[in-house]
Structure 1
Amino acid sequence: MECEKLKINDNHDEGVITVDVSNSILVDSVTAMAQTLLPADYIQSSEDLNDDGDSTKLTLAYERLYELPRTIIETFCDHIRYLDISHNKITNLDGLVHFKHLTTLIADDNPITEHCLLPPMPNLQLLWLNRCKISSLYPWVSKLKESCQNLQYLSVMGNPAAPSYFNGGTFYEMLQYRLFVISQFPSLLHLDDRKVTEDQREEAHRLYKRPLLERIMKPGSGSLTQLMTSSVTWSSVHNKLSSFWNKEKGQRRNLLI
């Protein structure tokens, strides 16, 4: 497999980033990288990602980046399908909006929080955000769903928002987290370190996708219109809700996660 080698040099003109594609030279003064020859897999063509063999893999891991350099975006965004920006200091992913053909994004070990939203990426199928700083799933997961509607592989292990035995999460918290994320992505095949099973998908739909009133009403109790037009008291609504939640809790299946 043929690979392009890029060399990084210091530049005293602060804020200037230039790329000499003909000589395979990258000058980046913003990140103040050392004068070292990057590994051969820094940029490499990847025939495994596309049958016609013209896809490209770009690796920017361990480069002390705070953001995606503008010149990198301008030079490679049109043909990159696999991008690795792991082990950096990136907190903003807005620059990814230019990578129209990106199908795989590896962004592990960055200080990315739930306030960092991905731009629309309809072609993205695999997203790794392990060991970042995501502390809340809502509304982050909903926003992620809007940006990456065709996501099939998602891993957010090691984040505070992803309960596990390693960060003090209980089995029930782990299960609820997993089912909630699955409910948001109908095309998801793999979450974290496990495949998504049909039982999990059905349970996720039962818990999080069915309308609340539909779940409260018993079969044969009348239509929604009848319920809305009938005379009800807060006491009766409260009793129905309490009965519903207790019943739901008692009927939850012990799904393996």
Structure 2
Amino acid sequence: MAQASLPPDLNVSADGSGDDDDTRLTLAYENLYEVPRTIVERFSDHIKYLDISHNKITNLDAVVHFKHLTSLIVDTNPITENCTLPPLPKLQLILLNHCKISSLYPWAGKLKESCPNLEYLSLMGNPAAPSYFNGGTFYEYLQYRLFIISKFPSLTHLDDRRVTEDETAEANRLYKRPLVERLVRPGSGGLNQLIHSSISWNAFQNRISSLWTKDKQGTKNLLI
């Protein structure tokens, strides 16, 4: 690949540890609005670990050129649920902490399509990831975890906690397809409309709660 000249004021760090130093690239704290084309041309054919955190990036389309990427750090960028990742089948870890993601549905499903082999995912600090620190209740936090876990069968870590076998079992029970289909009211266009429209997490969670109350009486819930 042709070696393109880099912007003189861009502090590019290709570092790491061990014998794989040339597979790690850090572009953090560079006031970037996108991954520069010169960076893509020079590094995309061998980088496995890319850190673009603490910038002003809203579009991740350029990441598609990093064919060998296994780890992507996007913390503290104004990424929203309208930003979808390109296909990254080798990606195992993505950190999207403290971004602007305010809706999980259908964004999480699109992330699963782009990154089907994720093992580590962190969304802490986003409006769509309820926690004590952003005003979310413990119940909302649990439902958030179960929903995300249901989307990623290979996930071993979500945020700062390992995914447990109990969580996986409960996620599969709660968010299996027949139940999700019942969240769509008759005459609303069916599941296809729900999947292709963005709804608030609170509305989605409230529908789940109502179904629990109506249909799960007498059945002990694993986590609630």
Residues of 2 paired with 1:214 and 1:96: CA distance? 33
One-letter amino acid of the counterpart of residue 192, structure 1 = D
User: Structure 1 residues 85, 176: CA separation in 2 closer, same or farther (over 3 Å shift)?
Assistant: same
Residue 45 and residue 173 in structure 1: after superposition, are their counterparts in 2 closer, same or farther (change >3 A)? Answer: closer
Most deviating of 179-188 and 204-213: 204-213
User: Do structure 1's residue 44 and structure 2's residue 24 form an aligned pair?
Assistant: no
Match of 2:161 in 1: 194
Match of 1:229 in 2: none
Listed as ranges, the gaps of 5+ residues in structure 1 are: 1-17, 21-25, 216-241
C-alpha displacement of 1:150: 0.1
**Given the two structures, how large is their TM-score scaled by the length of structure 2?**
0.79
Of all paired residues, the percent bearing the same amino acid is 68
Instruction: Tell me which amino acid in the other structure corresponds to 1:190.
Output: H
Unaligned runs of 5+ residues in structure 2 are 183-209
Q: What's the secondary structure of 1:78's corresponding residue?
A: coil
Q: Which has the higher contact order (CA 8 A, sep 6+)?
A: 2
Q: What's the CA shift for 1:245?
A: 4.1
- For residues 180 and 35 of structure 2, the distance between their equivalents in structure 1, rounded to whole angstroms, comes to 46
Amino acid at match of 2:116: Q
Return the offset for 1:19: 4.0
Deviations 1:171-214 (A, max 9, x none): 11000000000000000000000000000000000000252399
Pick one of 175, 185, 189 that aligns with 2:142: 175
Rg comparison, structure with higher value: 1
From 196, 208, 216, the equivalent of 1:248 is 216
Report the CA distance shift for 1:120/1:214 in structure 2 as closer, same or farther (over 3 A).
closer
Q: Aligned Cα RMSD in Å?
A: 2.5
Deviates further, 55-64 or 244-253: 244-253
Give secondary structure in 2 for the equivalent of 1:105.
strand
Q: 1:12 corresponds to which residue? A: none
Deviation at 1:147, TM superposition (A): 0.1
1:77 aligns with 2:57: no
Select the structure that is richer in strand: 1
Query: Following superposition of structure 1 onto structure 2, how do residues 155-174 of structure 1 map, counting pairs within 5 Å?
Result: 155-174=122-141
Alignment partners' CA distance in 2, 1:97 and 1:107: 14
Contact residue 46 and residue 56 of structure 1 kept, 8 A: no
Question: SS where residue 47 of structure 1 aligns?
Answer: coil
TM-score under structure 1 normalisation?
0.69
Shift of 1:47: 3.5
CA distance in 2, matches of 1:129, 1:209: 26
Matches within 5 A, 1:108-257: 108-212=75-179, 245-248=213-216, 251-254=220-223
